[in-house]
Amino acid sequence: MTSKRVGDKGCTVKMLERRKPLDLLFPLKGGATSNHSAGDRKQLTTLDRLRAGVTLARDTVKAVSVTAMEAIREGATYIGIVGEADELVDPFSHLDAPIWSHRPPAELLKLAYRYCEELTMREAGNFYHSFKYLPDEQRSAMCAVYAFCRRADDIADGDWADKFPGGMGETDPEAVAYREQLESLQQQGTILDQEAYLNKITQLFFFRKKLSTAYTDVYSTDPVFLALKDTINRYSIPRTVFDDLISGMEDDLYNNRYRTFDELYVYCYRVASVVGLMCIEIYGYEDPAAKKYAESWGIFMQLTNVLRDVGEDIARDRVYLPLNELEANGLTESELDGKVVLNMNWESYCAAYAKRARTYLNEARQLLPLLPRRTRYSPAAMIAFYDKILHQIEKQQGDVFTKRVKLNKVQKISLAAAVYIRHRILPEFLNPIWTGLSKLGILPAV
């Protein structure tokens, strides 16, 4: 550990010495290993094996018959995904079986992708904007990945009621056995009330069941997982990144405090870095270093989210800022409701926090030259938006409580235009000039 004096108020901030993401990651427990090579992988823990072993087998469930499949195909053109009240509607919600045991017709796959794209447009306009310049196939794939991540988060942190046809819910023997094993390995209880906990952990168990269909010979009747299976097959995305994301959602059922940055890093990896690792398989790359930089991309974005959402999180009895750092700076949990802005140490702590986040931002930007030119706009836009949000937090002296920090329309349009010019129009040989001018503040750093 090192102590660093930062900020003009002379605040002492205890932070981990800067280390490369993979060096930091490997000693940590909990399945947050990266898939760089067989030699790099650590031995799976019992918890890893439990989570990875959740499978939906063809011979244990009811499947939609071939006859019914054909009937659905005949009506696919007329099946809507938007209801009368303009709500998103699952086009297969009337089916009483969780799988198709044979490959569904192309019309149904197209319908599943339409569902994912509509979900993305409704739930994440900024992200969808970053996808829109991708080739059609890659844009659809990104929407399928986003839909998976969105639904997982909605189960863990929202009120989404995920459907598993034919399942017995909280009394399902497999779900009960999984939950009991998970609890014994976690060695801690839930932070939720029992009713909410049982509901969410059961839904996440069946969510893993659906995920398993993307890696077996059956097809989920959930449109998200139907589209995801096709995406995974096209781009060879490993199951571990999806399993790790669900593990991050499960973590939120057991943890609402993080003592050290090491602990926070694992959480950030599971809920954000794995998304970057999913995305680069769709974008395309040749240099394996892209995986390391994609990991840092996720860490940067999640660290920014953590700082931006401090006020909202404390209202939900969650503190993601490392407790040992708060204590070292004379900051207390009780102040995080907004009174903390009156603490003379808060601004300088935020500045140090932002400085550390930017070490990951710098690595994230190194990902861009490793991607094909046609796909760079997508990650570059997301990186630019989050960099601007972090700057605004600093400009507001760490006040993330008075109002939510977000970009206005003018900021979004100007940033998007700059990203488009640099990464889609500007000749490669002029990149060093743009970089130099951005350091002088003449052009935006995108």
- Tokens describing residue 417: 């235009």
Q: For residue 60, which amino acid is it? A: T
pLDDT band at 88 (very low <50, low <70, confident <90, very high): very high
Note the pLDDT tens digit of each residue in 291-310. 999 999 999 999 999 999 99
- By percentage, how much of the chain surpasses pLDDT 90? 70
Least confident range from 23-32, 172-181, 224-233: namely: 23-32
Measured CA to CA, the distance from residue 132 to residue 126 in angstroms comes to 10
Quick check: 19 and 25 in contact, CB under 8 A?
no
With a cut of 60, say whether residue 21 has pLDDT above it: no
Q: What is the pLDDT of residue 38?
A: 34
Q: What is the pLDDT of residue 156?
A: 95
Measured CA to CA, the distance from residue 150 to residue 28 in angstroms comes to 26
Note the pLDDT tens digit of each residue in 321-350. 999 999 999 999 999 999 999 999 999 999
Q: What is the pLDDT of residue 29?
A: 28
pLDDT band at 43 (very low <50, low <70, confident <90, very high): low
3-state secondary structure the chain: CEEEEECCCCEEEEECCCCCHHHHHCCCCCCCCCCCCHHHCCCCCHHHHHHHCCCCCHHHCCEECHHHHHHHHHCHHHCCCECCCCCECCCCCCCCCCEECCCCCHHHHHHHHHHHHHHHHHHCHHHHHHHCCCCHHHHHHHHHHHHHHHHHHHHHHCCCCCCCCCCCHHHCHHHHHHHHHHHHHHCCCCCCCHHHHHHHHHHHHHHHHHHHHHHCCCEECCHHHHHHHHHHHHHCCCHHHHHHHHHHHHHHHHCCECCCHHHHHHHHHHHHHHHHHHHHHHHCCCCCHHHHHHHHHHHHHHHHHHHHCHHHHHHCCCECCCHHHHHHCCCCHHHHHCHHHHCCCHHHHHHHHHHHHHHHHHHHHCCHHHCCHHHCHHHHHHHHHHHHHHHHHHHCCCCCCCCCCCCCHHHHHHHHHHHHHHHHHCCHHHHHHHHHHHHCCCCCCC
pLDDT band at 20 (very low <50, low <70, confident <90, very high): very low
67-73 contacts: CB < 8 A, separation 24 or more? 68/95, 69/100, 69/102, 69/104, 69/105, 69/108, 70/105, 72/108, 73/104, 73/105, 73/107, 73/108
Give the alpha-carbon dihedral of 294, 295, 299, 300, to 10 degrees.
Answer: -30
Residue 26: name the closest of 15, 11, 18, 36 by CA: 36
Summarize the confidence of residues 124-147 as an average pLDDT: 91
Q: What is the pLDDT of residue 221?
A: 95
Q: For residue 435, which amino acid is it? A: T
Average pLDDT, rounded, for the chain:
88
Quick check: 434 and 443 in contact, CB under 8 A?
yes
With a cut of 80, say whether residue 31 has pLDDT above it: no
Note the pLDDT tens digit of each residue in 53-75. 899 988 889 999 888 888 888 88
- Tokens describing residue 302: 């999640």
The answer to pTM > 0.75 is yes
Note the pLDDT tens digit of each residue in 180-197. 999 988 878 899 999 999
Q: What is the pLDDT of residue 75?
A: 81
With a cut of 70, say whether residue 30 has pLDDT above it: no
